[in-house]
Structure 1
Amino acid sequence: MPEPSHRATVAQTVRDAAHPAVRAVGLRKTYGRGDAVVHALAGVDVEFTRGEFTAIMGPSGSGKSTLMHCLAGLDTASAGRVFLGETELTALKDAELTRLRRERIGFVFQSFNLLPVLDAAENMLLPLRLAGREPDPAWREDVVRRLGLSDRLTHKPHELSGGQQQRVAVARALLPRPDVVFADEPTGNLDSRAGAEVLSLLRGSVREFGQTVVMVTHDPVAASYADRVVLIADGGLAGGLTSPTPDDVIDALRTLGA
């Protein structure tokens, strides 16, 4: 997997915006009761800057995926507050939260989550169609071209490689121009070459489009594509890194017992 670049980018011009893209205040998530209680998140305060690529890392069971799911409105917090820009997700009703996720949040998952009956173009446009919105033709063409999917638009998922399917998933996340793209182990089902392509695409979406990306990963090389790494252990913040290298990440995880 090639080494990423951390050169100054257009996205850096928006990093001093008044409000972070997403933040959590006193975030708690508890499972079970009594002696079986598990504190997956134990009062987390964290912010994610606009136009920045952040990786969340930690040992298995540290709460990193739970944190991302609560930040993205995919799971409900037991206590605390989550804000997307100035909108409090934790104060929204179910219908409002569903609409917000559809319009302002993009998702890229390990398993791609493409509908097998739809071709690549239809899968890309699905969130917009569900929201009753039409894609901006110039933006759609730009995203498709940059992701190298122009000659794959009529292919069904089973006709695409794993890397191509994940590129479709990245396009699907970017086309609505979301406030934040959340990526949950996006290279977990890919070989090293396809994984590098997807990470470069996410990195490029930050550099070229000013996109905000928050990624959960266990891979130090994947994390090194990020501007910043947030470390989680035992349901709480355990430090962080800026402009990380794979060796930096490995050393930091070693201190956490990962």
Structure 2
Amino acid sequence: MPLAHTSLSRPGPHPAAAARALTKDHDIGGHRVTALDRVSLDIHRGHFTAIMGPSGSGKSTLMHCLAGLDSPSSGAAWIGEVNLTELPDRKLTLMRRDRIGFIFQAFHLLPTLTVLENITLPMALAGKRPDQQWLTEVTTTLGLRDRLAHRPPQLSGGQQQRVACARALLNQPEIIFADEPTGNLDSRAGAEVLRLLQESVRQLGQTIVMVTHDPVAASCADRVVFLADGRIVDELQQPTADRVLDRMRLFDVTGNA
């Protein structure tokens, strides 16, 4: 069952990320719609966590608040020991740049740059030089060593997503947030990307939070957190695709689990 934290105080010992009574309201046509309803959650370091739920359940909103891409209406979101909701805009931007990695469904690669330039672009914009040994390890692990001079249009969808993974890993962030990272891929390419995400957790000690609607993708995680109507309603440890699918079927039967 979900954690029952109500305090907004600093979580400890520090998880990789945490939500404390996180609430997000939207004003739609003069009506208040609650996307997140006092959600409290710890994201464990060195683990792969999947977030699932029906459309409109709040899963993407939760990820965006945890990643500092959106501001909650109330409550707090933490990365390590830092309360994101208390940071001014510039420090929040630096936090996202220096300590958080992102992988998106649409890849967000620049077509005029080479694979190597796309991978190193965030560090270049920050005025940093990548660690060459780490760059070699990441690109070798992701099978990109012979693609560094290519440009994104010359790559398959799976290869482009591997480039996005390498870009997220290069800065050695504390945590990576992946928003439907296999959504635009065929089953084979999607399986390849999921395997790479698993390897980054198991071999590199990375922490990953992934929003997905796919039970097979979720089964690659160490833990699946289920949302419905903006609240955490359940979680599975060491999930299988069948167990995830069975849990998701309850949403179809009851409407809100």
Secondary structure class of the residue paired with 2:249:
helix
Code of the residue aligned with 2:160 in structure 1: it is Q
2:47 aligned residue? 52
String of CA shifts for 1:11-50, please: whole Å, max 9, x gaps.
xxxxxx9311000001011001686211000110001000
* Partner residue of 1:100 out of 95, 100, 105: 95
1:156 aligned residue? 151
Report the Cα offset of residue 158 of structure 1.
0.6
Q: State how far apart, in whole Å, the 1-side matches of 2:49 and 2:148 are.
A: 30
1:42 correspondence with 2:37: yes
Code of the residue aligned with 2:240 in structure 1: it is T
1:176 aligned residue? 171
Secondary structure class of the residue paired with 1:247:
helix
Code of the residue aligned with 1:135 in structure 2: it is P
1:252 aligned residue? 247
1:122 aligned residue? 117
1:136 correspondence with 2:134: no
* Partner residue of 1:204 out of 199, 206, 216: 199
Secondary structure class of the residue paired with 1:226:
coil
Report the Cα offset of residue 134 of structure 1.
1.0
Q: With structure 2 as the length reference, what TM-score do the two structures score?
A: 0.92
The alignment-based identity, stated in percent, is 60
Code of the residue aligned with 1:178 in structure 2: it is P
Give the root-mean-square deviation of aligned CA atoms. Answer: 1.2
Report the Cα offset of residue 256 of structure 1.
2.4
2:66 aligned residue? 71
Report the Cα offset of residue 117 of structure 1.
1.5
What are the ranges of 5 or more consecutive residues in structure 1 without an aligned counterpart?
A: 1-16
Q: State how far apart, in whole Å, the 2-side matches of 1:189 and 1:35 are.
A: 35
How many pairs were matched up?
242
Q: State how far apart, in whole Å, the 2-side matches of 1:231 and 1:33 are.
A: 25
Code of the residue aligned with 1:158 in structure 2: it is P
Moved over 6 A (4+): none
* Partner residue of 2:26 out of 31, 51, 55: 31
Code of the residue aligned with 1:39 in structure 2: it is T
